[in-house]
Amino acid sequence: MDFNFTDEQLALKKEIITFAQHELNADLIKRDKEAYFSHENWKKCAAFGVQGLPFPKEFGGHEADVITTMLAMEGLGYGCRDNGLVFGINAQMWSVQMPIWEFGSLEQKQKYLPRLINGELIGGHGMTEPGSGSDAFSLNSTAVRRGDDYVLNGSKVFVSNGPVAEVFVVFASVDKTKGFMGVTAFLVERGTPGFRVGPSMSKMGLKTSPICELFFDDCEIPASSRLGKEGQGSNIFSASMEWERSAILANYVGGMEYQLERCTRYARERKQFNKPIGKFQAVSHRLVDMKLRLETSRLLLYKVAWLKKTQGKCPMEAALAKLYLSEAWVASCADAVKIHGGYGFMTEYELERDLRDSFGGVLYSGTSDIQRNIVARYLGL
């Protein structure tokens, strides 16, 4: 592994930090309280080039390699305090754009990728159902072939970006007797007859990233809307989840660095018993733990990036990174609140929001227990 970033990569990270700090943080306390999704900030990120970082120039992207992309997303996490916005962008990049790029037809790529990358369209991903969460492939949603069309029936839940999305990657079974071998992916547009997008669901954190249910009632779509081949849905889903587990938490590394710097300054300035609280071992050791989590998280993240760049696949390492980074982020958010004491509990200090937001990371893209199951499987257990 080469730990030397190029001048261009470091300049991009610095530039994206500056952009995020100046453009994305205004009125965040209010937006979080109102669960308000900012189309304006989404489009600002698209204009900057965030959504197109790893995608081909022919579709409006920048063709950044995976290491450069993760470094940029780390910078976004450092500069942007709106965890919901960053999460929503990540969700679209890895679970909507990447499947279209890797498995879509040329027509599908030309139709959707440029508009997803430039912010004209927002995408959602429909896999989870009320009865199938961690057991992802036990789907009740069905897709029946009728001539040149498919007819979809079923529902999806916890669809990130759903209330504001115009196009969805949706998974359904074309033959339930085949189990995961019957799962197939489709591209479904908002407004298609028989397709209904449910209202926004209230949740604990990541409030600026809207989430909802999807409902399909004899929803007829053309066969040209199928993504990949029949029965290829499990491969498409697994590939997109590997990308998510590899990259979706890069912003948390930036967030942990920001938190550590902020908490260290506070520990130097805040005095109790006539000395800075950082002189108390209970505080200094907490800061050391935050530093340790940051450094180990960064090492795991860039090992995965290096493996993705050199080998293409690294499912076990991606699961390890997802598991560790998500739990490290929760622990560091909790430590940041504790270091600030009563002030950390106050909304205006903007630390309690990070703690609320952090819990989503141990749930989405596969829970921590599922990541442990994946790693155990690769250990032969």
At a CB cut-off of 8 Å and minimum separation 6, what does 302 contact? Answer: 1, 3, 67, 70
- CA separation for the pair 141, 193 (Å, rounded): 17
Q: Residues 74, 230, 242, 244: which is the catalytic one?
A: 244
Asked if 221 contacts 152 with a C-beta cutoff of 8 angstroms, the reply is yes
Tell which residue, 271, 247, 251, has the closest CA to residue 259: 251
Tracing tokens 């029949």 back to the chain, one arrives at 230
**Strand-strand pairing, 195-197 and 211-222:** antiparallel
Mapping DSSP onto H, E and C, the string for the chain reads: CCCCCCHHHHHHHHHHHHHHHHHCCCCHHHHHHCCCCCHHHHHHHHHHCHHHCCCCHHHCCCCCCHHHHHHHHHHHHHHCCCHHHHHHHHHHHHHHHHHHHHHCCHHHHHHHHHHHHCCCCCEEEECCECCECCCCCCCCCEEEEECCEEEEEEEEEEEECHHHCCEEEEEEECCHHHHHHHEEEEEEECCCCCEEECCCCCCCCCCCCCEEEEEEEEEEEEHHHEECCCCCHHHHHHHHHHHHHHHCCHHHHHHHHHHHHHHHHHHHHCEECCEEHHHCHHHHHHHHHHHHHHHHHHHHHHHHHHHHHHHCCCHHHHHHHHHHHHHHHHHHHHHHHHHCHHHHCCHHHCCHHHHHHHHHHHCCCCCHHHHHHHHHHHCCC
Active site residue 74: no
Q: Which residues are catalytic?
A: 244
